[in-house]
Amino acid sequence: MLERSTQFPSSPSRTRLAVLGSPIAHSLSPAIHRAAYETLGFDWEYDAIELSGESLPAFLSALDGRWRGLSLTMPLKRDVVSLLDWADPLVELVGGANTVVVSDDGLRGFNTDVEGAMRSILDAGLSELRAVWILGAGATAASLLVAAIRMGASTITVFARTPSKASPLQELGESLGATVIVRQWREAAEISEPPTVIITTVPGGAMDLKFALSVREAAALFDVAYDPWPSAVAQSWFDAGGTVISGHDLLVNQAIAQVRIFASGVADVPLSREADAIDAMRRAVSEQPQAHETS
């Protein structure tokens, strides 16, 4: 693996960027990234490219000096890790990268889902978490689990249709000092004691659980999926007067962290006019038709 570069960007001619995944045709990422670049005065182009995991190695090998970076959505976040020349420690921790910088000395992988999730939760007024439920056990669930622990969650319950698939999440959480309990999917709707937040990482059409009014009133819902929006489960929270965090919030917040990385090579350097860029990205989301993308 390469050491972190102290010189970035390596060339101003690197102006091409894209989001990769499948399906990708209706992704919101081009709209929000283009809105940010226009606001920030970056003369960059950003497209959506349909790509499977099998095609990813050849695609990355063919990238030329015009490319600056890539956003990765499902199913590529895990596939890309073994193809990187350098990976941020967070990528290695969660086992997935959603951001790749194309530099003169190789491909550099980052994960902005954790930062995006934390920002989204803070924006909803939740400054500290205690007990958290996570519905689903895929790649996105790992990032949300790390975000929850970093925000103070000491007990996390993962509900999965196939509990054995949640074993890596249990190991990850416990390695970070949290207690992680794995339960059957349908048990989530049977528990009356609400956590601080319920995070669902499954597509909207796969959410078939119905929660008690007392749970919807007390626990915040973080629905990572946003097609359609509001989802049935989000609408049930709205009906109960509960707190809802949208997948749109996560999409924008992880994307602004990507823009930071594409601009400077690191995620912790604020952008000039960053607040204006975020406003432009949110407007772009509101102006777009519903999209088929999981962050």
Helix (H) or strand (E) holding 81: none
- Say if CB 117 and CB 145 are below 8 A apart: no
Q: Are strands 220-223 and 244-246 parallel, antiparallel or unpaired?
A: parallel
Q: Is 77 a catalytic residue?
A: yes
Helix (H) or strand (E) holding 236: helix 232-239
- Say if CB 249 and CB 227 are below 8 A apart: no
Work out whether the CA dihedral 204, 209, 212, 218 comes out positive or negative: negative
Helix, strand or coil for residue 280? Answer: helix
- Say if CB 30 and CB 46 are below 8 A apart: yes
pLDDT at 2: 45
pLDDT along the chain (295 residues), means of 10: 48 94 91 98 97 97 97 92 97 96 94 97 94 93 97 97 96 97 97 95 87 97 89 95 96 97 92 97 86 46
Helix (H) or strand (E) holding 144: helix 139-150
pLDDT at 59: 98
E strands in 185-235: 197-200, 220-223
- Output the CATH code of domain 16-112+249-287: 3.40.50.10860
pLDDT at 158: 98
H helices then E strands: how many in the chain? Answer: 10, 12
Amino acid sitting at position 7: Q
Among 249, 44, 73, 211, which residue's Cα sits nearest to residue 135? 211
Copy the structure tokens of residue 185: 């999917």
Given the residues 14, 77, 119, 248, select the one marked as catalytic.
77
pLDDT at 204: 73
pLDDT at 17: 98
**CATH 3.40.50.720 is held by the domain 125-242:** yes
Q: Where are the domains of the chain?
A: 16-112+249-287, 125-242
